[in-house]
Structure formats: structure tokens, C-alpha cells
Structure 1
Amino acid sequence: MSTTTNEMQSLTLRRFKEGDHQPKDWQEQIFQAGWSHKCPTYVHRTPPCQGSCPAGEDIRGWLQIARGLDKPTADEPWQAYAFRRLTEANPFPAVMGRVCPAPCEQGCNRNAVEDHVGINAVEHKIGDWARENDLKFDAPGEPTGRHVAIIGSGPAGMAAAYQLRKRGHACTLFEAQEELGGMMRYGIPGYRVPRQVLDAEIQRILDLGVEVRTGVWVGRDITIEQLDNDYDAVLWAVGTHKGRDLPVEGFEAAPNCLTGVDFLRAFNEGRLHAVSDRVIVIGGGDTSIDVASVARRLGYSSELGDNQGVEHVVMGYTAHDAASLAVREGAKVTLTSLFPREEMTATDQEVEDALREGVDIKAGVMPVAVITDDEGRATAVRFAECRMEKNRPVPLEGTEFEVETDLVISAIGQMGNLEGLEALDNGNGFMDCDPHFQVKGRPGHFVAGDIIRPHLLTTAIGQARSAVASMDHYFQTGEPAKFPKINVLHFNLLQAMRKAGQEPTPYEPQPVRGTADSAFAVHNYEDRSKVEIIKHDQLFLGHFKPTPRHQRQHREISEDSVIGDFDERLHPLSDEEAVAEAERCMSCGLCFECDNCLIYCPQDAVERVPKKERATGRYVQTDYTRCIGCHICRDVCPTGYIEMGLGE
């Protein structure tokens, strides 16, 4: 619960000043308000869920489809219609519905009522339904004659290929590995993203006509100059596949000190089937949680030979024979974080799962040194309690302690492996770009994803969409695109009217005084969605009855049963649960046809738009010959769609 019971009881007063708790004399209120000469206008703004979504999904739009406000054409299931709307921005709904930490839910205005809408859960359901029913994307756009090279097939590279094909541009994917997917495949364990789910969503993009060249390292097997000669533009989406060593004494030289990136790659490639008896993972983010959770699942086997140590497998010198490791015991896995547990960057659910599965988390501590034996192998890590000063850890005197170990894994960050691409390296293992996602100093070269700055998978997807839009503008004008303040997919009233067969008639030059009766204009509507996000204090929250969130079934695994358990933990909502959860959406910034303004208008000035003229966002209208500017309609509008402004 995000709001206490006492706070919920005062939600109906959200429109009024602190201390107002008695109804006023409406007759006097109406009389005084009439002096303002203000009448309602209908103003569309971006909801905070959408403004918080790095991929820029039209979240409110596909939730309205799920709840039945925006209906599909005849014989089309709502899930298929919602899938088409959702994937305009994000072609990986089944993957993101599982692993995205959902910043959209943190921004959700429903948190001011009781609890956010389960956006991620509904997305999960839509993505799984699409896979189970073999949904395909619409045919690619008309060929433009342009051909783009995409370097990397992770979330940014694959999303870029999807967006390019939608626009009719040909593209070739270059991937250094033998399989596509980047960090979705090599960095996330299969029990979080089942490989059949990932493969299906990748194949759906390839079916649009994407050329693929795997096992090709650009910078070694093919040069930047060759790309410039053979393609009209290049999009760099190489990701960050090089882990950071722990910057403490003893780590770099010890053979049993590894990075989380290398560890997870060995596991996801099927080479690693057991770990050491005692494992220390240093991090605090989601990658470190994945490493620790994988280690607990693999367990320890005394049958490992001297040449089958974890470091031999991770570095590619050998591989485990899973059949020979039938007997395994639980490894002792310790995860450490510089920050206190409540400030760890890993998601709360992943931290809770790790604790339940037997991972020992030591928070608020920093590594000081790696202790090694005569052979140079790590035998312990010395830690100290610490406090953070300007985002840097400072050890607390007298708090040092040691934790014995057989394996140390650093999961403190990643960078790009830019071998052969030194000309693009900014000196820190990343690529620099301008605000238009164009590589600085290289016209026609664009970049997206973690190689700019490591962040979420959904951030890479959103950056790819923007980079392709910028590239498309570059093809047309020679200059990259500029983006609005709020760079997401926005509701478009004209598109909604076209879908309903209500497109305005062509404008013919003529004397005009007002547009209330004109068929060529949408009267008294303003779209501020590219510059404004609507906040909860602009809504009438008292309209919304607190309703518990419909939560996905989450399989909880105990530390006694975690070894060898690689089945998926998260199960989707049912169709009925997904619809019920979507109904909790408050449609912030856009009418959802509640009739409040019509019911409470004392002048009967508000009326429904004739049924044959309705469309999403065009449900009510105001007779300005009757409106006296009392602003009651604004006060009782749950979504903040009504603004008193006409007449100023």
C-alpha cells in the first residue's frame, strides 16, 4: 500500500485547499465563478506511466484496449489489438513483461490512491498471448532503397531492425556471437526469460525481412570503412559485454576472481554446471542478484577435477559434463553491496527471492582487499563497513572483517568491448552521441543501448526507436531529428477519429468566427502531451475506489529446494485478471467516459457527443451558450482532462 487508510479518506478533497472539509454554497460559488468568463476546454496530457517508460510505450492506450474502452475491429481479439498498440514502441512484450523493473509503475498516479496499476503484469499477459497465438507484425513499409548496418543484436539492435523495417529501410544485423539476443540471451538466466519466449520474439522481427550475419566481429572481420562504403548508415548497438574488475588489491591476478558478465555468459551458453563451495558476489544490482541466484541453483560438486574449476569453464578452457555432476550440494553464496539493503539498485522482488533461496546478503560494506595463498588463488576477501559520501564509499575505522571464499565474482559494472573500434571509444569503453543519437563527429553513424550508458533493457529499446527516427530524418533532410520534450508515443486524436470514421472534412478558405459548428476542426481541444505530464493533484482522486491489485502468481523457492530448479518463477495473469487490472487504470490526461461532468453540470451545458460522431477522447462537449464557468465539471473530472481556460 502506498497510501494510509486515513489519507485515502481525504482523497475527495484533493481538488481543494488544505482545511476545506465542508461543502460550500453552490449557488454562491456558481454566481462568483460566472464572473471569470472561463469555460471548459479539453486538454490532453501525457500520463506519468508513459512519461516514465524508457521505451515510450502508449501504456494508457493499450490498457484502454484491455479494459474495452478502445474496441478492436470486428472479430479481432482485444489481446491482438493491444499487442499491435504496445509493440509500436516495444517489440519484446513477453520479455519486458518478465524482466523490466517497471519504472512506469513507480510513476503511476494510482499510487496516490492505494497501489499502482500492474502494468508489467498486463504486458506479460499480452506478450504471452501473442506468442501462443503466433501473432506476426504487420508487413514492412514500402522499400525506400536505403540499407542500414546494425552492429549488435541485443535489445537495441533488434528493436532498431524492427523500427527500420516498419519504415521500409533494409537492414543487415552483424552479431559477433553465434546466436542473436545480446544480453537478453547471454546476461539473463533462462528461468527469468525462457529461451522459447526470447526466440519467438526475435523470430517475429526476423520475419520482417532482416538479413543476419552472425559470428562477425565488426572492427576485426569487417572495418568501419567497409561499412561506410556498403551502407547508407550505421547503427551501433554493441552493448557492454566486458565486466569490470574489482579495483582492490589481489583481484586482478587471482585466477579464481572473475566478472559477473563472464560468469553469466558461461552459464547461459550451457558450459557451466557447478560452482565452488564458497562464493562471494560483489555488487548490489540486478546482475549481482542473477549471479548469486544462478550459483545457488548450480550448487557445489566435489566431483569437479582440477581442470574443471569454475575459472577454467568461464574463461573457455573446458566445459562441465552435466551428466557427471549428479551429486551436488548447496554452495554458500554471499552477496555484498556498498549501499544498505533498502538502497540497493536491484529490484525488491529479486532481493527477496535471493534471500529466500539462501543467498546471504551483507549490505553497507565495501571490499578492501582480496587475500591470496602461496599459489596466488583467492582464499578470502577483506571487507569494511562503509558510508557513502558523494556516491563514493568511505570505510569506517575498526570495522574490517574477512569472509573466506573459493570464488570471487565482481558484478560492479560493465563496459563495451571495443577491440578494433578504438576510433569510436570515448576513452572509458563507451561511445559518445549527441542529443539526436548520432555518433559525435560521424554523420550517418547512430548509436543506442548500453554502449552509451548501461541502463535497462527497455531503455535500449527506447533509444533504438529514437535513433531510427533520427536516422530516418537524416535520410530525408541530411540532418538528424530533434525530439519533443516528452519523447514517447502519444495518443493522436485525429487517428482515433479516423478509426471511428469521424475524420474532419478538408478545410476550405472561408471567413470563420469560432469553430463550434465547423466540420473541418476539432473544436476546443488542445494537445499538450509533448510538453506536459499530468500529476495526481490535477485529478479528482475521490472518484476512484481503492481496489487491490491483481498480482501474478510468483513461485517461491526455498533454499532447501533451489538446487537444480531452473523453472520459471513468474506466471502470467489470466485473461480475466488482466482485464480487471487494466480497469484500475485512471486514464490520466484523457477522458474515459465516466459521465461525471455531464451529471454534475448545474446548467445542463455538458452533453454527450452524438454517438455517430464519437471517438476515443471525443465523448462529451459543452454548449457554451449555457455554460457560466462554474468549473464544477473540472472539479469532478477524474482524469484531469478538463481545463477552465476559454474566455481568458
Structure 2
Amino acid sequence: MSLANPSVPAKPLTFRRFKDGDSKPLAWQQEIFDADHSHKCPTYVQSTPPCQGSCPSGEDIRGYLNIVRGIEKPPAGMAWQEYAWRRLTDANPLPAVMGRVCPAPCESGCNRNEVEDFVGINSVEHFLGEWAIEHKLGFAAPAERTGKKVAVIGGGPAGLSAAYQLARKGHWVTIFDERAELGGMMRYGIPGFRTPRAVLDAEIQRILDLGVEKHMNCRIGTDVTLEQLRSEFDALFLGLGAQAGRPLPVEGAEAANCVTATAFLKAFNDGRMRHVGKRVVVVGGGDTSIDVATVARRLGHIEHVHESDLPERVIAGHAAHDAASISARQGAEVTLTSVFAIDKMQANKHEIEQAQAEGIAIRGGLVPVAVLRDGNGRATALRVARCEAKLVAGRLEVKPIEGTEEDIEADLIVSAIGQAVDFSGLESLDNGKGGINADRNYQVQGQPGLFVGGDVVRPHLLTTAIGHGAIAADGIDRHLRSEPLDKRPKIDVHAFDLMRKMAEKGLPSGKVEAPLRGTDQSPGAIHNYENRSDRYVIPSTELFLGHFQYTPRNTRRVMTLSKEQALDNFEERMLPLLESQAQAEAKRCMSCGQCFECDNCVVYCPQTAVFKVPKSKSTTGRYVDTDYSKCIGCHICKDVCPTGYIQMGLGE
């Protein structure tokens, strides 16, 4: 076992603002000069950073990183950790869970990738979530109750997110779930060594503490009808999830020991399955398939298996394994196949590397063509063939290559090729494609007061379901208040609110029209301020990247296991950053589209036209101003602005 804290190897910067041979001028709209001046002057434009634009739950990532790094100060008497956590949980009430398991599309979108490496957003989220649990932080109760009642069907990430947001808005919420405990796929899909149950329980309990009630072991459509709920509640949210697995679409896949990933993981997370076969083959390529493979590696196998202890019988729910058999376990040989090459697989790259370190054989470019069975009907091998796979118009096309077939021996075959919604008792809602049609507010078409979210809309990430729940909660709130369901913003995120910061500091604000724009007359904002967060994601080309020096990423310590060490090891593998590391990592954030108070514009302005706002009138996002009687439009402030917050306009 090794406990590593790898650092990014040093390498020279690759960014240069101007390269040898550059001769093409910028667009004439940006560079209209008359001698040493132009008709343009600086404007201050708040944009959405690409990390936030890539986050399905719309977290104010730039906002809480600026708090962690010390740029945005918390209110008096509040620790910066709590203030950052509260900014984070405006969008996502489960940061300690998501900080561990989210594949972090925000990091893929991070503009810092153009300098050396992305900001470890996920690791800072992990740190804040852990700090909040350690210090027993809770959510603030709503100031008043509306008296309206909402039923949330499904206690997974979408349902919990909707319940959380609705409770904060003052509505009474009841969650109905067919399982014994809340959490959905976070509890019954992801193994505990990735999401420790104490962490999951703590974050769920905070939501319940807002006054949210729960009814467990209650399936809608069977134990209670949708019509009954509609008569008792003012609105409904359906977060059904997709917890029915998809079997392999090949001949012989009906064998008893050919099971789905969701059934496999549920049997494990229920504590019923204690060992698997000697040879396990997993078909997939996403994070779920990695979870199955790593669980199988940890469970191992026993030499002499009684008929009642066969893995498929336990998965089917007939019995639980005898705990006494654990002592006889040996390692299982686990193979994971994917139609994509390994570097193109959808699973988190870090998880793939961990699985390979544990001795799991990952083979890309293979498609299943048949399940081979013995005389008793049990699967003995998976026949695969080399293939070419590509996405065409959003659909996966897989073409087997003739003559490349081979057989991979197996005692257990697990299909992790996707999930489906179980519409039993709710067939009328099925759109014929295994989902439910909804508008941009996630209201079911033609059914006011009925909203949906999560995998029932589109199977995707846990954080996507959290985002759906929050947007649906906004729609439900407006519905309950008899307000029209307006069109959602093009970029639907939790944006930094300058007006909130001014009110928090006690600064006066004048009338500001929406979308928020400042003028040189209104005290409501800095001169010529505009908030484009609802419609513009700022690219790296708008930043002065030359400002940022090479700074290695602060990485979390990860426990890497060998093939032998993985057996029976269910300890958490990923440790949170230390406080100093979290702060250092937050300082790597380039604060794209928002001032981070670097003073470049003030220092480099040759006319001293750009100046600091007096401390008594300044706040985050309101740090510098421009004296337009001095400004000649030389563009220098825009050119040296690292974050792209300063744009040239005013004359157009």
C-alpha cells in the first residue's frame, strides 16, 4: 500500500501573449485608434467562468474559491470556511459526497489548463464539506413558512436537492422513497469506500433538519398512487432515478450469472454479497463499471461454493452469504471491457488508474457478441470482438471487426452499459423512450404542478441531478406563488451577486435595471458595470495569461492498493487537503470574469484614469473605477487584466 502525494512535474510555461511571426492585427472593432487614443473606454463585465459553466449543478465555484483564498471577506463573526461552505451549498447541499465522487467536469473546463494544470476545484469542495461536518454546521431555517406542501418522490440526489431548496423557500416537504434509507445511487450504487456512509448520513440529516419529512419503503404507483399524492399535496417532484440496469443485448445474456451493475452494487451495499466468482467480467467503461470491478476485486472468491451461495442467487435476493465464508476468500480475476479505447473511456481517469494498480485488466476496443453457457444454462465465458466505436449525431455506433472474436472465461458477468427507469405503476408518464418529457423549468408537459429531475429526464452525473432538483424547486416555488414560469437563463448558474455584497457591507444602492448594468451616475454599481453571467462564458483568450506563473496543483493524498492489498480492503482511499493546501489551491484560481484585486489596471494606466474605489465604498467586484475625463482609451488596462473583467466598450 502506498500513500502518495504526487506533484506535477516542473515544466516551462507554454504561454506567450505574442509569438514569433505574429503579424495579424486584432479585430478592428477592438483596435480603433486615432494616434494614441480610441473612442473606447474600459467597462467592467462580470461573466461566467468556464468551470461554473461546466458544472451541472451551477455552483458559484469562483465565488467560494475567492473566499477560501481571502479575497472575499466573510461577515463579522463568521469563519471563512463556513462562509465558503454556505456559498457552495447555495447550489449543492452535498459537497462532502460530491467532492469525493464527482468526475469534476468543472476541472476539464478550467481556463488554468491553458497555463499548466486545472485548479483542484473538487478537492477544495471536499475540504469544505469535511470541515462543515467536523464543525457540525447546519442550514439556516426559512424566515417564514408558506403553508404549501410538496411531495418529493425519490430520495436520491435530485429529490434531496429539490427538498433542500424547497424547504429553504419555506414550503413543507415530504420525501417518499421505496428504499429503507435515503441516498439513492449515492447509497445503493456507489460503494462505501468511495462515499463513506457516515459522511452521506451527515449531509442528508442536515436536509431533514430543515423540517423535511420522509416516508421510507413506500413505492409510488404500488403503495400509494400518484393521484392520491396530487390530492394531498400542492405540487409534486418526481426524482425517480434510473435504478434498473440494462442487460447485455446479446445472445445468452439471460443466464442467471449474467447480471446488471445496479443489481450487483445494490446486493453489495445492502451487505448481502460477501464474495464473487473466481473470474469476473465487467462490460462498460463508465464510473459504474469501475465501481463494480473494484468491488469484485475486494470481495474475491471462495473455492467451494454452495449452490445457495452463488453470487447470482444473492444478487437476485434469495439469500445472503454466510459471513463465515469470508476467511476462505481469495482474490478474483477481474476484467473490464469497453467499446472505447482506454484513453477514451467515460470513467474518471483517476479511477481507471487506481483500478489498474489493483490488478484489474482493462481492455478497450472490445464489444460483446455472445454469452457462452454450459449445459446447466450458466455463463462460462463472454465472447467479444474487436470493434470501431464512434458517436454519430449523439448516438453510439459500434461496428464489430469480423474474425477478431475471442472468449473471456467468466464465473460472473456484469453489464454496466447503462440504466433505465422503472415505470411500474407510472406507465402513463413514460414518453416511450424510457424518460419523462419536461420543459426548461422541468415541469411535465401539460401537467402544471408536476415537476421532474435527475436520470428520469436524462441519465447523467449525480451533480446533474442536483442541478435539476434546484431548477425544478425554483419552478415549483413560482407555481405555488401563482407566478409565471419564466424562461430560464441561457447559462443557468448561481452567479455572484454584487447587489448582495453591497447590502452585506451596508453600502447604498440606487435603482439598477436588469440585466444589471451600471452607469457613471448610479451608486448602484461601479461605472459601466454589466453582469453577463446569464449569457456569456469567458474563454481563456479574453484573459491575460502571462500574469500567471507556473504553480503546481495541490493534490489530495490517495491510497493506492496492489492486487493483493485490495482484497477485503474497504477503507476510504482519498484524504482531504489540509487547510493550508486548500487555501494554496484556491489561490491558483484565475477568477475568470471577475476582479481579483491584482492592481494591474491601476499600476499600468498611463493617465492615472483607473483608480481604487475608497475602502468605505468598495466591496468584492467593486474594487476599481475609472475617471473618464482622464481616460484616452489606450486599452492598456484591458490588456493587463488577468481575469478579463475589463473590456473595452462605451463607444460602440
Contact 2:250 2:371 in 1 (8 A): yes
1:73 matched to 2:75? The reply is yes
Deviations along 1:157-192, one digit per CA (max 9) or x if unpaired, are 011110001100111100101111000000000000
Matched residue, 1:442: 447
Please give the alpha-carbon distance, in whole angstroms, between the structure 1 residues aligned to 2:119 and 2:328. 44
Matched residue, 1:585: 589
Q: Given the alignment, which residue of 455, 461, 467 partners 2:460?
A: 455
Q: Given the alignment, which residue of 16, 19, 22 partners 1:19?
A: 22
Please give the alpha-carbon distance, in whole angstroms, between the structure 2 residues aligned to 1:601 and 1:180. 57
Please give the alpha-carbon distance, in whole angstroms, between the structure 2 residues aligned to 1:521 and 1:564. 59
Q: Which runs of 4+ in 1 moved over 6 A?
A: 1-4, 28-31
Please give the alpha-carbon distance, in whole angstroms, between the structure 2 residues aligned to 1:567 and 1:141. 41
Matched residue, 2:474: 469
Change (3 A) 1:9 1:262: closer
Map 1:605-644 to 2 at 5 A. Answer: 605-644=609-648
Map 1:334-483 to 2 at 5 A. Answer: 334-388=335-389, 390=392, 391-477=396-482, 479-483=484-488
SS in 2 for 1:594: coil
Matched residue, 1:105: 107
Map 1:219-298 to 2 at 5 A. Answer: 219-252=221-254, 254-298=255-299
Q: Given the alignment, which residue of 485, 491, 495 partners 1:490?
A: 495
Map 1:191-206 to 2 at 5 A. Answer: 191-206=193-208
TM-fit CA distance, 1:9: 4.8
Q: Which runs of 5+ in 2 are unaligned?
A: 1-6, 26-30, 513-517
The TM-score normalised by the length of structure 1 is 0.94
Please give the alpha-carbon distance, in whole angstroms, between the structure 2 residues aligned to 1:479 and 1:30. 48
SS in 2 for 1:560: helix
Change (3 A) 1:3 1:454: farther
Contact 2:142 2:170 in 1 (8 A): yes
Deviations along 1:252-307, one digit per CA (max 9) or x if unpaired, are 1x111110100000000100000011111111111111001100000001243111
How many residue pairs get aligned? The number is 632
Please give the alpha-carbon distance, in whole angstroms, between the structure 2 residues aligned to 1:55 and 1:483. 14
Matched residue, 2:188: 186
Map 1:29-40 to 2 at 5 A. Answer: 32-34=35-37, 36-40=38-42
Matched residue, 2:325: 324
Change (3 A) 1:449 1:578: same
Q: Given the alignment, which residue of 519, 522, 525 partners 2:523?
A: 519
Matched residue, 1:309: 310
Amino acid in the other structure paired with 2:397: R
Please give the alpha-carbon distance, in whole angstroms, between the structure 2 residues aligned to 1:230 and 1:569. 45
Matched residue, 1:116: 118
Matched residue, 2:172: 170
| Identity fraction in percent | 55
Matched residue, 1:541: 545
Amino acid in the other structure paired with 1:82: A
Please give the alpha-carbon distance, in whole angstroms, between the structure 2 residues aligned to 1:293 and 1:388. 25
Please give the alpha-carbon distance, in whole angstroms, between the structure 2 residues aligned to 1:584 and 1:646. 32
Please give the alpha-carbon distance, in whole angstroms, between the structure 2 residues aligned to 1:356 and 1:2. 19
Contact 2:252 2:373 in 1 (8 A): yes
Deviations along 1:456-505, one digit per CA (max 9) or x if unpaired, are 00000001000111111222236434210000001111111111221325
Contact 1:30 1:628 in 2 (8 A): no
SS in 1 for 2:580: helix
Change (3 A) 1:515 1:328: closer
Amino acid in the other structure paired with 1:446: F
Contact 2:33 2:39 in 1 (8 A): no
Contact 2:112 2:590 in 1 (8 A): yes
Contact 1:13 1:21 in 2 (8 A): no
Change (3 A) 1:33 1:47: farther
Change (3 A) 1:208 1:397: same
SS in 2 for 1:477: coil
Amino acid in the other structure paired with 1:592: F
SS in 1 for 2:560: coil
Please give the alpha-carbon distance, in whole angstroms, between the structure 1 residues aligned to 2:269 and 2:71. 42
SS in 1 for 2:248: coil
Matched residue, 1:567: 571
Amino acid in the other structure paired with 1:177: R
Matched residue, 1:555: 559
TM-fit CA distance, 1:141: 4.2
Matched residue, 1:25: none
TM-fit CA distance, 1:140: 2.3
Change (3 A) 1:479 1:422: farther
Please give the alpha-carbon distance, in whole angstroms, between the structure 2 residues aligned to 1:427 and 1:647. 54
Please give the alpha-carbon distance, in whole angstroms, between the structure 2 residues aligned to 1:478 and 1:376. 60
SS in 1 for 2:563: coil
Map 1:43-58 to 2 at 5 A. Answer: 43-58=45-60
Please give the alpha-carbon distance, in whole angstroms, between the structure 2 residues aligned to 1:393 and 1:552. 37
Please give the alpha-carbon distance, in whole angstroms, between the structure 2 residues aligned to 1:518 and 1:345. 50
Change (3 A) 1:505 1:175: same
Amino acid in the other structure paired with 2:491: I
Amino acid in the other structure paired with 1:79: Q
Amino acid in the other structure paired with 1:492: D
